[in-house]
Amino acid sequence: MGKTFGYDYTLIIATVAILLAIGIISLYGIGYYHNAGEENPSWTQGPKHTEYLEMMNKYTSPTVVALLIVLGLCIPKRVVPRDVLKRISWALVGVTAMLYFIRGITWALGVMLMLAIAVQTASLVLTLLKRGRLVYEKEGYLVQLGSAMLHLGVIILIFDVALLRGHAQHISIFWVAMILVTLGMFLSFYGRTDPRKWLPAIKS
């Protein structure tokens, strides 16, 4: 139990740190945009704006990859034994790094996201069927289902926004991800709440 707690706790700490890092990078972007606008109000019409967009994408890419790795270690622990998962994760990091140097970040991210979607979909299906050796932070069928939907939705969202912009189905996929995220969030937060709580009290 103690070991399990330590593993999950470490993953949560890593997740929090990565999320805060993305927030701080965004803050840096705000400062950069503001200063550039002060120097030249029409800077967004020139090449400097494109450089800025590329810079921000470059800075956030490693944190998104890190987030996916953590998600990859966190979510599938419900499906496969932890030792196997660790080996798979290291292999995934290795393959992603190799793809990054051979084909670039788009390919590396794409492969990683597709694998993450596949694993997370398996997680969701197993949760739906109440099968597998699933372990969640919070117990309760609806809460577990919500958590699986939420994380699958987030990964599809990243995949869609990062790699499918301009694709004919971009917005349709976005809506699917949005429904998964919102519904998953609702179930995850309120899945354990007794619905009678919302009904008016009956006086005997």
Taking the alpha carbons of 191, 186, 182, 155 in that order, is the dihedral positive or negative?
A: negative
Of 146, 62, 154, nearest to 116 by C-alpha is: 154
Q: Is 47 in the site for other proteins (CB under 8 A)?
A: no
Of 166, 149, 61, nearest to 113 by C-alpha is: 61
Are 162 and 114 spatial neighbours (Cβ–Cβ below 8 Å)? Answer: no
Could you tell me which residues come within 8 angstroms of residue 112 by beta carbon, excluding any fewer than 6 positions away?
65, 68, 72, 92, 96
Q: Is 135 in the site for other proteins (CB under 8 A)?
A: no
The least distance separating other proteins from the CB of residue 78, rounded to whole angstroms, comes to 16
21 vs 134, beta carbon nearer other proteins: 21
Token look-up 């972007």 returns 29
Q: Count residues binding other proteins (CB under 8 A).
A: 39
131 vs 165, beta carbon nearer other proteins: 165
Q: Is 186 in the site for other proteins (CB under 8 A)?
A: yes
Q: Which of residues 16-45 bind other proteins (CB under 8 A)?
A: 16, 19-20, 22-24, 26-27, 29-30, 33-34, 37, 41, 44
Stretch that binds other proteins, among 79-87, 92-100, 115-123, 163-171 (CB under 8 A): 163-171
Report d(CA 85, CA 117) in Å as an integer.
16
88 vs 178, beta carbon nearer other proteins: 178
Stretch that binds other proteins, among 77-85, 103-111, 116-124, 178-186 (CB under 8 A): 178-186
Of 97, 94, 104, 114, nearest to 155 by C-alpha is: 114
Are 11 and 73 spatial neighbours (Cβ–Cβ below 8 Å)? Answer: yes
Q: Is 166 in the site for other proteins (CB under 8 A)?
A: yes
Instruction: Give residues in contact with other proteins (CB under 8 A).
Output: 9, 12, 15-16, 19-20, 22-24, 26-27, 29-30, 33-34, 37, 41, 44, 49-50, 52-53, 56, 137, 157, 161, 165-166, 170-171, 174-175, 178, 181-182, 185-186, 189-190
